[in-house]
Amino acid sequence: MVHAEAATQTRTETDSLGAMEIPCDALWGIHTARALENFEISKRPISVYPELVVGLAMVKQAAARANAEIGVLDEHRADLIDRAAQLVIDGQFHEQFVVGVIQGGAGTSTNMNANEVITNIALELAGRERGDYAYLSPIDHTNRSQSTNDVYPTSIKIGLSLSLGSLLTELDLLRKSFLAKATEFHDVLKVGRTQLQDAVPMTLGQEFHGFATTLAADYERLRENAVLLHEINMGATAIGTGITTHPDYAGAVERHLRDITGLDLETASDLVESTSDTGSFMSFSSSLKRNAIKLSKICNDLRLLSSGPQAGLGEINLPARQAGSSIMPGKVNPVIPEVVNQVAFAVAGSDVTVTMAVEAGQLQLNAFEPVIAHSIFQSIIWMRQAMRTLRVNCVDGITANRARLGAMVGSSVGVITALTPFIGYSAAAALAKTALLTNRSVADLVVEAGLMEPAEVEKQLSPSRLSGLEPVTSVIPIIAPEDVPTQG
């Protein structure tokens, strides 16, 4: 247990603005302390995005190894930084990354938070006191050959790449869940709809297979856009000219980063352009929005198909997750699709934020990468969780109202579309009108009109043919509407 007296003990640190008292139990230092005073905005520290913290540590580790390799940092200090960074990569000390996710300074506070935490961990590994920066400095050693302007965007790209892996895992699991339902419902005939009006028959399995297919397409689009994040600007330092770096540094740090991250990273051919351009973030954000909006559309369909259950479509049943009303007994709402819809709205809003921030960059740097990072990391996390709850708490438990679906198909005039290759469009249209006016079966009217034999009608209106699983081609005879018997 920490005594109150010990918790209030401080150490003194100084920077170009003066001195500050830093809590002794803090691994961060004066630059982080100033950020805590200045940016009390979001109430969310950067540690809420652990992959970003890991990305920062990986960059610091790679820089230490590169600096030692090219001889600009002694082996002992480089090893201390390397080992300290590895502890952060392994998940330790993340609570010390305390600066707010929204901050001015183009990410400088985040970079300094990382420099100070890793330096103080390294000092303790060396048996030194926290804040002993004469021995190991956050700037002169841990930040050697670096600038926020290459560390921060590179760390974001690495963090996003790491986050994407878990998102893609959930996306693929959700796709498989829809695919399993497609198999389960492969023989369940239903009425398809366009513009909310009855169209032609299909199977419920075909509908769910379409959901799975569209998610598979999103999986590929996300992977394609993620490749854009593999271009880094390490070695650019302040504006892309590489000032303060050794000529061999950029190549060395790239090699070490590739080894540490396992990502196919590549140094940009034009570091000035790469330092000022944030277009890759916009493209990646756009692919997240695409996935979110398409997922929202699927959830709209699930809510509509399950509407009722008595006075709506009532074609499928979603698992009952909680009571739906404080006043209406027995009411159950589609809460899982609803929450996914809301996540999609938030992701779309975040994409607008990213777009505005990308546009707002000026000259050699974009100062708004903190809000870009926050927006995209939040979108990934929310989407990942939304996909999981949709799969586990909804899709896996969906059942079909087979009797109701069969009844709707049996009474639908849309089935006459399947007979148009045999009786022609005009005759079909006339009989459809009669069926609606008289509430009679289309099949009976076709037989009564002498246009087809009962056995042939039954064959063409079989589930396999109505759903298009068994293709039908035939010569279409010319039958005039006036030749079709009608009933008043």
Nearest to 68 by CA among 58, 51, 80: 80
325 is catalytic: yes
Burial of 304 (0-12, 13-18, 19+ CB in 10 A): middle
Q: Which residues, in sequence order, are bridge partners of residue 198? A: 193
In one-letter notation, the amino acid at residue 243 is I
The answer to whether 256 touches 60, Cβ cutoff 8 Å, is no
Task: Please list, in sequence order, all residues whose beta carbon lies within 8 angstroms of the beta carbon of residue 186, skipping any fewer than 6 positions away.
Answer: 203, 205
CA distance 295 to 276: 33
Would you state the structure tokens that stand for residue 103, as one six-digit string? 């901050």
Residue 167: count other Cβ atoms within 10 Å of its Cβ. Answer: 22
Q: Which of 147, 306, 325, 441 is catalytic?
A: 325
Tokens 């005073």: give the residue: 37
CA distance 239 to 216: 39
Distances (CA, A) of 198 to 102, 173, 380, 420: 50, 32, 37, 17
Catalytic residues: 325
